[in-house]
Amino acid sequence: MSKYIASFFALSVLILTISCSKLDVNPLEKALMSNHPAIQKVMHNLVAHEVQILYTQIDKDSMGNTVFTEYSFQLDDEQYFYPASTVKLPAAVLALEWIQTLDSITTQVPYGFKGDTSLYDLKTDLRLIFGISDNAAYNRLYELLGRDSINSKLRSKNITPVRISHRLSTPNANRAHREPFFFWYSGDTIAFNGGKDSAIEPLELKGLHKGTGFLQNDSLIESPMDFSEKNYFPLRSQQELLKRLFYPEKYAQNQQFKLNESRHGLLSRYISDVPYSLGFRDTTYYDAYGKFLIFGDSKDSIPHHVKIHNKVGYAYGTLTDNAYVVDEAYDIKFFLSATILVNENGIFNDNEYEYEEIGIPFLAQLGREIYLYERQRKK
C-alpha cells in the first residue's frame, strides 16, 4: 500500500478515537462543513459549480432486512447536468440482460455490423467501458440496443427520469438509424435488422442552456450552449440503477435486472476492478483513473479491501461519479453519487475545465469525508 493511502487509513483511526461521540445528524452537512480546502473552494462558490449529492446508508433492521437511509444535497431531477460517460453503465447492464434472452449467445460470441469488417464481443466491450471508459465500445452497445429500447427498459424498471438520446464522440451521434448487425456462432450468422429510433424530443428542464458561449468548428458562438437534446440521466436515477444491481431484493421482480449469477458476477467484477486488473498496463490508467470518490486525486494503488463499484463521467466541464463503496476490512457499505461543474470561463467545448484543480479534489475529499463517517457510525 502506498504512503499516501496508508496515511489516510492511519489518520482515519485517529479521527475515530477523537470524534466517535460527536456524530452529526446529517452526515452530508458535516462533510460539506469540512475545513479541507478542496471542499471549501467549492462551497464558497456553489452556484457556479452546480453540485448535487446523494448519499445512502445501508443497514439491517431487527428482521435482517436491508434498510436504506438517504441524505441529499441540492438534489434536483429537474436541474440538468450533462451525464457524460455515466450513461455507459445502463447500456452495459441492458446489453447483458438482452443477450441472456438469446439462445446460445454468450458474452464471448463475436458480433459485427454491416459494412464493418471487424468483429467484437460483449465481454471485451465491458472491459473497455469499465477499464478505460471507451466511447467506441459504448457506441456499439447503443447500436445493438437502440435508444428507444434503452429508455423503455429503464422506465419499465422504474429507473426514472431518464432519456438516453445519443452516442458519444462520433459524427451524427444522435442519428435515428442503426446499422444491421449479426452474431457469429458456430460457423453460422444470427442476423438482426438494426432499426430506426424515434426522433429526439427536446428536454424541458432547468439549466439546459449553460455558459456564455461554446466552440463549434473552431469558432466561438457567443450564446449559451443548448443541452436540450443531450443525454439526461439525473443522479437519483443513476443511484437507483446501482441499488437494483446490488440489492435486487429491495425491488419488485419487474424492477430487477434479469442477470444470471455468472453475468452478474462478471459485471460486478468489471465495474469494481482497476484498469490494471482488467488488462490495461499503460501507466496512464492508474488505479483511480475511473474512481473519483475517495481516491481520485491520487495515483497511488487502491487497497485491495476497498471495492468501488462505479461509473464516472466527465465532459463539458461536468464531473460525475455514481458509486457503491465496499470496504471488506471494516464492514463498510454505502452508496454515494455526486456531480460538479467546473467551467470557470463559461465557455463550453473548449477543453478548458478545472477537472484537476477543483472537480476531482472535491469529489475525492467528499468521498473521504463520507468514508470516515461510515467508519465511526454505529450500525
pLDDT digits (tens, 9 = 90+) for 216-231: 999 999 999 999 999 9
Sign of CA dihedral 99, 104, 106, 110: negative
SS3 110: coil
SS3 286: coil
**Whole-Å CA distances, 266 to 55, 127, 262, 263, 289:** 26, 10, 6, 5, 20
Distance CA 69, CA 63 (A): 17
Q: What pLDDT is stored for residue 1 in this prediction?
A: 52
Q: What pLDDT is stored for residue 17 in this prediction?
A: 38
Q: Which contacts qualify for 306-311: CB closer than 8 Å, 24 or more apart?
A: 307/272, 308/272, 309/242, 309/245, 309/246, 309/268, 309/271, 309/272, 310/271, 310/272, 311/85, 311/86, 311/88, 311/89, 311/130, 311/271
State the amino acid at position 229 in one-letter form.
E
Instruction: Classify 273 in phi/psi space as left (phi over 0), alpha (psi -120 to 50) or beta.
Output: beta
pTM: 0.93
User: What residues contact residue 194 under an 8 Å CB cut-off, 6+ apart?
Assistant: 114, 143, 177, 178, 179, 180, 181
- The upper half-sphere exposure of residue 268, i.e. CA atoms within 13 Å in the direction of its Cβ, equals 15
Q: What pLDDT is stored for residue 22 in this prediction?
A: 45
Which among 18, 27, 12, 36 is positioned nearest to 375, based on CA atoms? 12
Determine the angle formed by the axes of helices 135-145 and 147-156, rounding to 10 degrees.
Answer: 80
DSSP assignment of 127-140 equals HHHHHH--HHHHHH
Task: Parse the chain into domains and list their residue ranges.
Answer: 3-376
Q: What pLDDT is stored for residue 248 in this prediction?
A: 98
SS3 361: helix
Distance CA 118, CA 295 (A): 37
Distance CA 58, CA 157 (A): 21
Q: What pLDDT is stored for residue 326 in this prediction?
A: 99
CATH number for the domain running over 3-376: 3.40.710.10
**Whole-Å CA distances, 179 to 114, 115, 167, 317:** 6, 9, 13, 32
**Whole-Å CA distances, 136 to 11, 14, 28, 84, 94:** 41, 45, 36, 14, 17
Distance CA 193, CA 45 (A): 50
Q: What pLDDT is stored for residue 232 in this prediction?
A: 99
Per-residue pLDDT of the chain (379 residues; tens, 9 = 90+): 555 555 555 455 444 433 443 444 699 999 999 999 999 999 999 999 999 999 999 999 999 999 999 999 999 999 999 999 999 999 999 999 999 999 889 999 999 999 999 999 999 999 999 999 999 999 999 999 999 999 999 999 999 999 999 999 999 999 999 999 999 998 889 999 999 999 999 999 999 999 999 999 999 999 999 999 999 999 999 999 999 999 999 999 999 999 999 999 999 999 999 999 999 999 999 999 999 999 999 999 999 999 999 999 999 999 999 999 999 999 999 999 999 999 999 999 999 999 999 999 999 999 999 999 999 998 7
Predicted confidence (pLDDT) per residue in 308-364, tens digit: 999 999 999 999 999 999 999 999 999 999 999 999 999 999 999 999 999 999 999
